[in-house]
Structure 1
């Protein structure tokens, strides 16, 4: 199974929309848990990484590539 690539700051689409009607979420924290914020109502949710990867449909907008750090 192909793993979807996502990074901090990306806007992602989940399989089920949020009750506010939007289905676009911004990734605001990454680790063992992923925190995402609804782009419609600004509600944030923290879910385990494995559950997030299972529920992720696609990445809508990739965040800007990080600058080359020395």
Structure 2
């Protein structure tokens, strides 16, 4: 099974959209659990790494490509 590569600060797309309608999430914490924040409503969720890897579709924007804010 191929492991998807993602890093802290990346914007990722999940398989299911958030109830607010946005499907882009920012990775804000990594470890055994991954904390992601919705880019639409700023809601954050912590999920186990294996579940996150299963539900993540792709990386939309890499952290190094984002302008500093």
TM-score (norm 2): 0.92
Partner of 1:31: 31
After the TM superposition, list the runs of 4 or more consecutive aligned residues in structure 1 that deviate by more than 2 angstroms. Answer: none
Cα offset, 1:44, TM superposition: 0.1
> Which is richer in helix?
2
TM-score (norm 1): 0.90
**Root-mean-square deviation over aligned CA pairs:** 1.0
Partner of 1:45: 45
Partner of 1:19: 19
How many equivalent pairs are there? 65
* Runs of 5+ consecutive residues of structure 1 not aligned to the other structure: 66-70
